[in-house]
Structure 1
Amino acid sequence: MGKIKKRNRKKAFIFAAVFLIVNILAIIIVSRRETRAVDASLAACAEETKDRFEEILNGYRHSFHLFTEMLSQEIEHNPNPDDIWNYLKDMDTALAQIEGKTFDGVYMYYKGRYLYSWDTPYSQYEQTGYDATQRPWYKDAAAGGGEVVFTPPYKSYANNYILTTISQMQPDGETVFAYDIRMEDIQTLVARQNFYENQQILIYDENGTVIGSTVPEYLGDNLYGTFAGESTDSSEKFLQFRERLGDSLKELESAEGKAERVSIGGRQYYGCVLGDGGFRFMILAPQGSILKKTAEIWLVPLLVVELLLIYVLASISRGQHNRELREAYVELGQTQKRLEIALSMAQKAAAVDDLTGMMNAKSFRKELLHVLSTLEEEEHGILVMLDGDHFKHINDEYGHNVGDEVIKLTAQMIIGRIRTVDLASRLHGDEFAIFIADTCDYEVARKIMADINFSIAKEAQKRNMPALTLSSGAVVARNGDGYATLFKAADEALYKAKETHNGDFSCAETR
């Protein structure tokens, strides 16, 4: 009896050792995969932020080119400095109407004089000994040798926004055009980026001045402890953040473009810094948010390893006492349950369109066939196919990032204008489909489509983005109708509606 107990203890020890070793190896392997996934994910987020930031800067450059073109033509036809000064004051109102919030004034150095668009008397500049050629905007333009340059951004504490100056030395080697820009679009960009829960995003220049942050109080403060532009005390909140960040900032910047795990105020974060063109883009995300985001990389493999390991050990131990065998089966059943949950989550994710969160085409087809099979003889529904008008123009004019935002807004408006008993799907691109239950009245479908188009236009205007109209074709569906037949009829109706490319509605002929 004692030998049996001793043998069982030895076997239990061996099983425990094997279980531990295999799990350690699995964790090491999965951790490496997860590390690569984190690195790629954070780098992609920083790269996306950088690309959208560059789009905004290009917009600022475009505004400046418009200004220089107008001013150059005026100087060519009327070179008198006094007349140019008056022209600048007239231009101020026109540019403010064109550019909106980004515009904050124009000025220049021309024929030895400082000319500007605002109403401040020149005597005020004379009293302070103002020398335009010694100002950063003039010096930076001179150093740029004819290139369009940005001065280091700074915060206007009187108006609480970030300013930069775009300037350019003209071919005569003396005249400089300058244009003040409010960089509010940068803060809007940061506020709209949503990569991880409780993330922090900071955009700062080479001097450390923060020009964009998920924490608005950080704007204008300096990560390096010195200030570009106006000198002021850092906010207490930013000082605390900078103190918690400590040496982690150097670690992140020295590993530029790669994810690093750092400690900030005693909490573990993953961070990444990407630099480009005198600006840096920092992404900080709590470790828990990252693990949640990359769960598919490590959770399912570990569950599979655990399942296989328990199964193998249980098979080897089949001759052991019934109680031990039952315990192994219970543990195996629990593991299988966890794996089933993980598999169910994966299947659910596979049925959803990644961009909009709507059903994808495959899951919509499955759900529609199920609904059609359950309809009674007297019950009906309406299948509506929707297609965006001029969506290619939006992509070409504003870029694919804006195009994606337009598609997401469109999906939100579609879902918000139908009932929970109805179905909605993004088929692909700018094509959608909805199924309106319990009706055969085309007027109901027509009113729903009119409401969707009106809501898209209203919300797009509110968000300052291009609106997409949806043309639509509808067909009544009954029990026994085939999926392909319905979609063909709806598509033919949609083809008629698309003739105007202006959100028209058409219905199939009565069947």
Structure 2
Amino acid sequence: FNFPYLSPEAVWRAQMTDLMLPLVLGGSFLFFLMWKIRQLAIAQRDLSVIAATDSLTAVLNRGAFSMLVEAYLEQTRKQEQTRSGALLIIDADHFKSINDRLGHDCGDQALKLIAQAIKGQLRGSDIVGRIGGEEFGVFLPGVDPSQSWVVAESIRRRIREMEFSPGGRPCPLSVSIGGTSFTGPITYEEIFSAADRRLYTAKSNGRDQVSFDPAGTSPAPAPGVATVH
């Protein structure tokens, strides 16, 4: 500053303003910048969730489901840990007939109910996703074969007991479930193929039942409960 007509006090105020103004403005700008970064991070997280979620049923989509299961199995192999678990493939019975008779809106409603019923029988650590038009996948980490069968049967029974009456017209729902368990290193492709074969067996033998792989020690079904093959 070189203003000889200014008083010493005015010069001091001008100097302080010159020093403090950038700090004040810089602090405000920094706060604004950090706030925008946080908003962008939240938006990115929300977009990631949306990208991984099936928009109809609010469970994971096929890509996200397979990625998470593969990551779990790969981590288990790398750590050379002996962990058990199971994969279930759940198929809505006669779903095409529901769409043809009642319309796609009713079919969508049925899928939402089935997804809710599946989630209601699972733990927080279990993974569920929609892996096809009317197919769902469930991964059960850390469970033994008998526990896996119990979960599968509880899902089947819960869906069979649900009331679904679109437009006042009763429409019973049921699912066929194929499952496989593992107790050692395995790939996603291997367990998916095994579970898919068991699903084919369940559908071929009349649907509305659980078919578990021979490695699983399934308890004997009670009277009235679907036969396990």
TM-score w.r.t. the length of structure 1 is: 0.35
Asked if the contact 1:351/1:359 (under 8 Å) is kept, the reply is yes
Q: Identify if the C-alpha distance between structure 1 residues 353 and 429 changes in structure 2 by more than 3 Å, giving closer, same or farther.
A: same
Q: Secondary structure at the match of 1:358?
A: coil
Aligned-pair Cα RMSD in Å: 2.7
Q: How is 1:227-266 mapped onto 2 (pairs within 5 angstroms)?
A: none
Match in the other structure for 1:504: 209
Listed one character per residue, the Cα deviations across residues 291-347 of structure 1 (whole Å, up to 9, x for unaligned) are xxxxxxxxxxxxxxxxxxxxxxxxxxxxx9466445433322221111111111111
Q: How is 1:72-471 mapped onto 2 (pairs within 5 angstroms)?
A: 321=22, 324-375=25-76, 377-441=81-145, 443-460=146-163, 465-471=170-176
Q: Distance in 1 between matches of 2:2 and 2:104?
A: 74
Q: Distance in 1 between matches of 2:184 and 2:163?
A: 38
TM-score w.r.t. the length of structure 2 is: 0.74
- Name the aligned partner's letter for residue 424 of structure 1: V
Unaligned runs of 5+ in 1: 4-319
Q: Distance in 2 between matches of 1:430 and 1:379?
A: 30
Asked if the contact 1:381/1:437 (under 8 Å) is kept, the reply is yes
If you compute each CA radius of gyration, which structure gives the higher value, 1 or 2? 1
Q: Distance in 1 between matches of 2:125 and 2:143?
A: 12
Which of 184, 187, 198 aligns to 1:482? It is 187
Asked if the contact 2:87/2:191 (under 8 Å) is kept, the reply is yes
- C-alpha displacement of 1:356: 1.0
Q: Identify if the C-alpha distance between structure 1 residues 343 and 2 changes in structure 2 by more than 3 Å, giving closer, same or farther.
A: farther
Listed one character per residue, the Cα deviations across residues 39-68 of structure 1 (whole Å, up to 9, x for unaligned) are xxxxxxxxxxxxxxxxxxxxxxxxxxxxxx
Q: Distance in 1 between matches of 2:132 and 2:27?
A: 50
Q: Distance in 2 between matches of 1:2 and 1:456?
A: 86
Q: Identify if the C-alpha distance between structure 1 residues 497 and 429 changes in structure 2 by more than 3 Å, giving closer, same or farther.
A: same
Q: Identify if the C-alpha distance between structure 1 residues 484 and 412 changes in structure 2 by more than 3 Å, giving closer, same or farther.
A: same
Match in the other structure for 1:76: none
**Equivalent pairs: percent with the same residue?**
28
Of the two structures, which has the highest relative contact order with CA contacts closer than 8 Å and spacing of 6 or more?
2
- Name the aligned partner's letter for residue 73 of structure 2: L
Q: Secondary structure at the match of 2:125?
A: coil
Asked if the contact 1:372/1:479 (under 8 Å) is kept, the reply is no
Asked if the contact 2:156/2:176 (under 8 Å) is kept, the reply is no
User: Number of matched residues?
Assistant: 194
Q: Distance in 2 between matches of 1:428 and 1:2?
A: 78
Asked if the contact 1:386/1:433 (under 8 Å) is kept, the reply is yes
